[in-house]
Structure 1
Amino acid sequence: MAVALALLALVLAAVACVLALLTWRRVRPDGDLGVPPDLVGLRREVAALKAEAGGALRHLAVVRYDAFDEMGGGLSWSLALLDDGGDGVVLTSIRGRNEARTYAKSIAGWRSEQDLSPEEVEAVDHARAAG
């Protein structure tokens, strides 16, 4: 009797495995054991978002300094705002005793056609290293 029950259990287990395999192949007709299609689509979407975000201003750095000896507190600053390709702008505000001047210089490929001050170069270098 015990042998008959064991054989019956073995047959039922084999039938359950066959049914599970057939159901799985119906859900996955290609029979691919790799990444499910929904994850493939997700990976494509993430790659597209990464490519799109390459133009975002993600490399940022601020350098504060005293432009003049008579001023204190590091009220002058240079701010680099750059994308992954090193394109963007450096903004500089130089604070004097009676006035403040602001400058904007374009950056392409981590370089500028205009002369950069040492503080502006430092801001670009920090922004590049931060990314």
Structure 2
Amino acid sequence: MDVVLALLALLVALAALVVALRGARSTQPEPGADLPADAAGLRGEVAALRAEARGALRHLAVVRYDAFEEMGGRLSWSLALLDDTGDGVVLTSIRGRNEARTYAKSVSGWSSEQELSPEESEAVAHARLART
């Protein structure tokens, strides 16, 4: 059980790193920048915020499953963390009787150069449909 908790902590740290790296790429507004006083200016601000949010990992989905027939409880899982353009990562943890293995595959444009398992593909499909 301690190994599973350690792996989950590692995955959360990895997800936080991905989010931090994406945030570092976005442009930050100048401190003290004045808000526009008119409706057209506010529309521009909203449009800029929406454009900035496209890079956020807002499309998330988890698929839990039994990777092996002898294991029950759906302890294996695949987690898709994607932005509005379908770029991000799929994290997978496969739990066996004596060990757990964790994998990360990059995703670009809702697909991956690496072959995705059926569960990973399902997680990406669910994430694509997710609306935040």
TM-score by length of 2: 0.70
Q: Secondary structure at the match of 1:50?
A: helix
- Partner residue in 2 for 1:49: 49
Query: What is the CA–CA distance in structure 2 between the aligned matches of 1:42 and 1:95, rounded to whole Å?
Result: 50
Q: Residue type matched to 2:94 in 1?
A: I
- Tell me what 2:107 maps to: 107
Residues 14-33 of structure 1: CA deviation (Å, up to 9, x unaligned): xxxxxxxxxxxxxxxxxxxx
CA distance in 1, matches of 2:74, 2:38: 53
Q: Give, as a single letter, the amino acid of the residue that structure 2 aligns with 1:61.
A: A
Residue by residue, what CA displacement relative to the aligned partner does 1:98-118 show, whole Å, maximum 9, x if unpaired? Answer: 110000000000010001000
Q: Which residue of 1 aligns with 2:30?
A: none
CA distance in 2 between counterparts of 1:72 and 1:47 reads 47
State the 4+ residue runs in structure 1 displaced beyond 2 angstroms.
none
What letter corresponds to residue 79 of structure 1 in structure 2?
L
How far residue 42 of structure 1 moved from its aligned partner, in angstroms, is: 1.2
Residue 86 of structure 1 is matched in structure 2 by: 86
Letter aligned with residue 124 of structure 1? V
Q: 1:72 Cα deviation (Å)?
A: 0.8
The C-alpha deviation readout for 1:28-65, integer Å capped at 9, x for no partner, is xxxxxxxxx52221111110000000000011000000
Q: TM-score, normalised by structure 1?
A: 0.71
Report which of the two structures shows the higher radius of gyration computed on alpha carbons.
1
Aligned residue number for residue 98 of structure 2: 98
The residue that corresponds to 1:16 in the other structure is: none
Q: Going by fraction, where is helix more abundant, 1 or 2?
A: 1
Corresponding residue of 2:73 = 73
- Give percent identity, aligned residues only: 82
SS of 1:124 mapped into structure 2: helix
